[in-house]
Structure 1
Amino acid sequence: MSATGALAAPFREAEFMPVDLAVDRRDDGSIVIRSRIELGAYEANIPAAFAASAARAGDKTALAFRGADGEWAHTSYATLKHDIDAATQWLLDHVPRGRAIIVIAGNTLPAAVLTFAAYAAGVIHCPVGLAYGMAGGDRARLRHVIAKTNPALIYTDASPALAASVVAAGGDIPVVTPDPALFGGRATAWADVVATPITPAVEAAIAAVDPQAFASYMLTSGSTGLPKVVPTTQDNIAACTQQGLLAIGKAAGWGGTMLDWLPWHHAAGSSVLRATLLEGGTLYVDAGKPAPGLFDATIRNLREFPVAYFNNVPLGYAMLVDAMETDAVLRRQFFSKLRLMLYGGAGLAQHVLDRLQAMAVAETGHRIHMTTGYGMTETVTGCMVIHFPTDKVGIGLPAAGLEVKLVPYDERFEVRLRGPNVMRGYLDDPAKTAAAFDDEGFYRTGDLAVFHDSAVPEAGLAFAGRLAEEFKLSNGTWVYGGQLRDGLLKALAGLVGEVVLADDGRDYLTVLAWGTPAATLDAVVERLRGYNAGQHGGSATVRRVLLLATPPSVDANEISDKGTINRRAVLDNRQPAVAALYAEPPGPGVGVI
């Protein structure tokens, strides 16, 4: 079925929070919108909430990890609760309340245990991605985080590269790891931590939790420099969890079976872990990632069992669409129980959603609701949501308890947020904190948005770019990077997976692109000629293109763990490619449009 024909099909049944919007249009042109739905009461003591969930679930599987033998290893709620309590006791014995611990880990059982144990023990949990320890070199990002957070302890997965980084950057900070031999025996074994005898001090510590105290240090992506450290409280975290449950919780069904790959050291991934465990669901940890070769693990898992809710970044959905168009078994299995899809991390291309819906209707006779988790580290995670039927991609409407201020910026609006889930400020950085908030206490996201229909705000907002992604050509005209990228990805669907626009201050616009296996330079050039024919002005017309042979590098900060591209890092790291685009005559491999 064509994407156009799919639009007439009904949506599969799913229950959402009602749309009941308050809109305040101010004299200065700004607009403040909020939901009239109340956030309501929620348990801000996260360890107490998990204890109640674990008591209800008992021997039900909480987490499942695929082992080296390819089989799933299951951890029950009862076992997980025991390990969390044991680790809490160990932290109470070894780490002063209010100090930080750094956790350098993938999505592993110890990483999950330490998240909740830190909350219970009153120590600050600071998760760090594996890339910080694997990058080598001077380990600048890891040294920066250690200097900022002053940790009393570092946990690291068992890896010689991670151990070398921790020794180099961490000095004599105590270490916990599954393999103390990597540190010459100068580390505590993880097995000893979870074997710690549990005393009544654990229950007392949980009862004494202060939800307003800092519970977590989360790191921003660092796309414009070293990462900023965002302190969040248990109340921030619990409020954001409540927002998600109210808006889409009944449709998503976090109390059921989840399959998710998003890294737990990022805002979105950690929210999936928390919501699933607090709702008594089972989380199958997907080892796949939205990158060539790594997405095969996700495909295998989706072929094995269906889910009612699927969560990924836009690049992951693009790869999933490509895979399903040639895999009937995957397509049938994926849509068999699906009620809701969610994307976050960047704007989803409309053409990807259209292709998804065409396949959904062909398989089930229904469209599947697509929602978004618009938010950022500074808001815990997504706090604007599409909680209503729609065919349009966008960033939705505010969740309960959130106020959104839209400040005029040309024909668009700058998005600012205020609510119980929003951070108080960056760690020990008053200048950046002051710049991040306006005089009414709204957090400046740096994102731009427009209404789908200015006369009907209930139809939601659409992402319209980032201030940081917009740049000028040498003639002074602005390039609207976010909008242009979306248009190019639609025009190059099937040939290109991602594009990077070049470059600030140049005479004309060019593109670096990662091609699909089916792509040829001639085919891409031909598509771009068709795209250019529909554009007006040089700020949206592409003159040259170069297909990149090497994938984006995590170590070079070109791509985040969530699969989003850092445009500036790509351009800075690939200067020879940029030079070839603008050389006269063009360099080798450059297609002229």
Structure 2
Amino acid sequence: MNAEILPVNVVTYDISVEKRDDGSMLVRSAVQLPAYATKMTDKLEHWAATTPDRVMVAQRTEDKHHWETVTYAEALIKVKHLSQYLLNQNLSAERPVVILSGNSISHLLVGLASMYVGIPFSPISTAYSLISTDFGKLRYITEKLTPGLVFVENLGPFRDAIDAVMPSDCSVLACEADHGADDFGFDLSLWGDAVATPVTDDVAQANAAVNGDTIAKFLFTSGSTGMPKGVINTQRMICANQEMIASYLQFVQEQPPVLCDWLPWNHTFGGNKNTGLVIYNGGSLYIDGGKPVPKGIAETVANLREVAPTIYFNVPKGYELLVKELKQNQDMAEVFFSNLQVLFYAGAGLAQHVWDDLAELSIRYTGKKVPILTGLGATETAPSALFTSIEEAASGVVGVPIPGVELKLIPNQGKLEVRVKGVTVMPGYWRDEEQTAKAYDEEGYYCLGDALKFIDEQKPSRGFLFDGRVSEDFKLDTGTWVSVGTLKAHMIHEFAPYIQDVVIVGRDRGFISALVFPDVEHCRHLIDSEEGALNLEQIVNHAAVRKVFSDHLASMAEKSTGSSTCIKSLVLQSRPADMDAHEMTDKGSLNSNAVIGNRADIVEDIYSAEPSAQVITL
């Protein structure tokens, strides 16, 4: 595939590297960060004045036949009415707004109204209310926040969660409350009344008092290493990061971006980066109610038959499903690629076969390769800290620091641990002095926990490769270090498409093994259809499935370079990761410590003198 790359105005800059006597390095962009807005709602007011009739946000109507739209001018009017409603509720950082329901027009407007008058808000994963059965994480978060107002789209599905964990003096705002308002013990307001609240001078005064230090929102980490932590996001963090992104994806300043996006707003990727990209640059956001799972992809397909994005964001698993649909739906593919400038992924490495399929499809429909880009960041960095160039983009490459971000690279166990400083780094975790103190080093750099390595030490501006998470690495009993992140990525690539996720084990043991969470649908295809419907346990124990995993294990072992890269056994998990047991985060990633702790009997079986038949060995 030697086709020409689609010409797109994406700019990365040279970097400087300062080597210090202790072996650490400071890495900076050669370019200064341009001036940025004071607060996000300044951009809303700007676009409402200059492009009042442009669609800011749209979502499918309930019957799915049409798009409900809100223009920039309409959005500003609604935001001011909602701002007055919020001011009337006696809210503050000590009594913030909590949003329990998912992405929607009303969700976005509540968030903007909160930011307009300087009241922090916190979007919470719907899984904590709708999937969890004990509301453990939601209760923990609520105790941290002490909310003064809860917003839900529809009260009914969230009634149990609100009853279980919300403080008695908390009010509730709902768009609908037909099923759930009976005998409700909280002060309840309806959306129609809130957006009709008469606006007073208090709104303008509160807006004028908002500055860069004002807390915009609390975003909770996914909890992959413990309970979620509440990241303080200031107006400065969010605005500066959007200016950084615009200095990189410069085409969004030339052509207002159009997004069709499903990524949840309780995470920084969807809630800061993507919604912010639209509002900061006067674009249009079409809310995709679909999900990157077999049962949810149909709505995404329907939306992409009608909406032509200029930039498309997704996680690697989402791209894997999207590729399959693009191959099967020519009409969708024609619309999807018609205005597309960039494909962007984050959250994990993109498997090479998915990368190749995306490149091949873009050539088929545009005649050129659409750039596939990524970067590196965190909830604590608002989120973007590094971006790849078009020229160096490849699986595993995370790029160079963007203007305004400074990296410190510390030698650690043979790797370069990366730490970050800049105006986009959080001031700390909300009401958590202990975790805040642990987050920074003695010079005030945020400890990202990741490791990087130069693509070419002689040409540092080519950028960095991701080199795993330092906190996950461990030693075998021989003293040999195992780079868990790198090994995990190799295993997922080698076993594609049959692995959904994997936990590497072997700390203080004689060899490496793995707890494998299989991709059930792909594994099911390995079994003769005449055998009928099988449950998960029957699938993972089926001879055809076990043979494929055994063959891949042997193939990977042949390519290993020693004990630090050779996985000698694996166990297919017949029990899905459990959110209530903290094994899985709300975004589907695994908490490896919780998995290992909860499945200690499986680990002991692996390393016993005579492992059971469930252990697949070389």
Normalising by structure 2, we get a TM-score of 0.88
CA distance in 1, matches of 2:361, 2:71: 36
User: How far apart, in 1, do the equivalents of 2:605 and 2:256 lie?
Assistant: 53
Match in the other structure for 1:415 = 418
- 1:75 maps to a residue whose letter is V
Give the AA of the match of 1:153: L
4+ residue segments displaced more than 6 Å: none
Question: Is the CA contact (8 Å cut-off) linking 1:84 and 1:117 kept in structure 2?
Answer: yes
Partner of 1:44: 38
Q: Secondary structure at the match of 1:424?
A: coil
Is 1:222 paired with 2:228? no
Partner of 1:175: 172
Matches within 5 A, 1:296-445: 296-393=298-395, 394-445=397-448
Measured against aligned partners, the alpha-carbon deviations of 1:288-342 in whole angstroms (never above 9, x if no partner) come to 2233422333233334433221111122223333444555555444334322111
Identity of paired residues, percent? 31
Give the deviation of 1:571 after TM superposition.
3.6
Count of residues paired in the alignment: 587
Letter in 1 for 2:400: L
Q: Rate the CA distance shift 1:507–1:551 in 2: closer, same or farther, 3 A.
A: same
Residue 74, structure 1, aligned to residue 69, structure 2: yes
- Residue 252 of structure 2 contacts residue 281 of structure 2 at CA under 8 Å; is this kept in 1? no
Whole-angstrom distance in 2 between the partners of 1:337 and 1:527: 40
Taking a change above 3 Å as real, the CA distance of residues 338 and 136 of structure 1, as seen in their structure-2 partners, is closer
How far apart in 1 are the matches of 2:258 and 2:32?
Answer: 28
1:355-393 deviations in Å (ceiling 9; x for gaps): 422333344332221222411111111221113422423
Contact 2:83 2:203 in 1 (8 A): yes
**1:52-91 aligned within 5 A:** 52-71=46-65, 72-91=67-86
Hey, what's the Cα distance between the residues in 2 that align with 1:320 and 1:552? 24
Worse-superposed segment, 48-57 or 229-238: 48-57
What is the rounded CA distance, in whole Å, between the counterparts of 2:600 and 2:299 in structure 1? 33
Structure 1 residue 443: Cα displacement = 0.7
Determine the structure 2 residue equivalent to 1:105.
101
CA distance in 2, matches of 1:409, 1:532: 27
Q: Please name the residue that 2:548 is paired with.
A: 523
User: Which deviates more from structure 2 when the two are superposed, residues 519-528 or residues 577-586?
Assistant: 577-586
8 Å contact 1:244–1:383 — kept in the other structure?
Answer: no
- For structure 2, the 5+ residue unaligned runs are 527-544
Mapped contact 1:237–1:421 kept (Cα < 8 A): yes
Cα displacement string for residues 52-97 of structure 1 (whole angstroms, at most 9, x for unaligned residues) = 1122232322211123322222222232222211110111122244
Question: Which residue type is aligned with residue 513 of structure 1?
Answer: F
Please give the alpha-carbon distance, in whole angstroms, between the structure 1 residues aligned to 2:337 and 2:508: 46
Conservation of the 8 A alpha-carbon contact between 1:369 and 1:390: no
**Whole-angstrom distance in 2 between the partners of 1:188 and 1:574:** 45
Q: Does 1:591 align with 2:616?
A: yes
| 222-231 or 360-369, which deviates more | 360-369
**Residues 1:140 and 2:162 are matched in the alignment:** no
Equivalent residues in 2 for 1:127-276, closer than 5 Å:
127-172=123-168, 173-180=170-177, 182-183=180-181, 184-185=183-184, 186=186, 187-250=188-251, 255-271=256-272, 272-276=274-278
Query: Which segment drifts farther, 182-191 or 228-237?
Result: 182-191
Q: Note the C-alpha offset of 1:137.
A: 4.2
Distance 1:509 1:321, change over 3 A: farther
How big is the shift at 1:222? 1.6
One-letter amino acid matched to 1:68: E
Shift of 1:260: 0.9
Measure how far apart 1:117 and its partner are: 0.7
Instruction: Return closer, same or farther for 1:78/1:120 CA change in 2, 3 Å cut-off.
Output: same
Which one of 464, 467, 474 corresponds to residue 461 of structure 1?
464
CA distance in 2, matches of 1:293, 1:551: 17
Give the C-alpha shift of residue 539 in structure 1. Answer: 3.0
State the distance in 2 between where 1:67 and 1:299 align.
16
Distance 1:304 1:378, change over 3 A: same
**Shift of residue 138, structure 1, vs aligned partner:** 3.8
Residues 1:541 and 2:549 are matched in the alignment: no
Q: Assess, with a 3 A threshold, how the Cα gap between structure 1 residues 52 and 363 changes in structure 2: closer, same or farther.
A: closer
Cα distance, 1:563 vs structure 2: 4.2
Does the 8 Å CA contact 1:230/1:378 hold for their aligned counterparts?
Answer: yes
Structure 2 distance, partners of 1:265, 1:113, is: 15
Structure-2 separation of matches of 1:366 and 1:48: 38
The equivalent of 2:590 in structure 1 is 565
| Residue identity in the other structure for 2:32 | E
SS of aligned partner of 1:157: strand
Q: Do the aligned residues in 2 keep the contact of 1:373 with 1:381 (CA within 8 Å)?
A: no
Superposed CA RMSD in Å reads 2.5
CA distance 1:381–1:219, change in 2 (3 Å):
same
Match 1:116 to one of 112, 130, 142: 112
Residue 158 of structure 1 deviates from its aligned partner by: 1.7
Equivalent-residue separation in structure 1 for 2:550 and 2:112 (angstroms): 52
Residue number in structure 1 paired with 2:23: 29
* Alignment partners' CA distance in 1, 2:602 and 2:323: 29
For structure 1, which segment, 118-127 or 508-517, has the greater mean C-alpha deviation from structure 2 after superposition?
A: 508-517
SS in 2 for 1:216: strand
Q: 1:260 to 1:559 in 2, by over 3 A?
A: farther
Query: 2: CA distance between counterparts of 1:549 and 1:136?
Result: 20
Question: Would the alpha carbon gap of residues 83 and 436 (structure 1) be closer, same or farther in structure 2, given more than 3 Å must change?
Answer: same
**Does structure 1 residue 473 correspond to structure 2 residue 476?**
yes
Give the Å deviation of 1:585: 5.2
Mapped partners of 2:480, 2:321: distance in 1: 34
Q: 1:3 maps to what in 2?
A: none
Q: Which residues of 2 match residues 4-15 of structure 1 at below 5 A? A: 6=1, 8-15=2-9
Distance 1:545 1:254 in 2: 49
The aligned amino acid for 1:37 is V
